[in-house]
Amino acid sequence: MIKDVKAVIARSHSTLLADAIGAVALMTIMLVALHLPNLT
């Protein structure tokens, strides 16, 4: 099982970075959207 996970990570290293950046962007958008009502 651990070997399989390591193999998947090794094969898709570049897409993992893009997915992580996308996840951070989505969380940032969510936080900004949740705080917008407090700004007015």
pLDDT value, residue 26? 98
Query: Would you list the domain boundaries of the chain?
Result: 2-39
Predicted local distance difference test score (pLDDT) of residue 9 = 82
Helical packing angle, 13-39 and 2-11, nearest 10°: 80
Q: Report d(CA 4, CA 12) in Å as an integer.
A: 12
Per-residue pLDDT tens over the stretch 9-39:
888 877 988 999 999 999 999 999 999 888 7
Q: Model's pTM, two decimal places?
A: 0.63
Query: How many angstroms separate the CA atoms of 15 and 17, rounded?
Result: 5
Residue 12 DSSP class = T
pLDDT of residue 11: 86
8 pLDDT tier (thresholds 50, 70, 90): confident
Which residue did the predictor score with more confidence, 9 or 2? 2
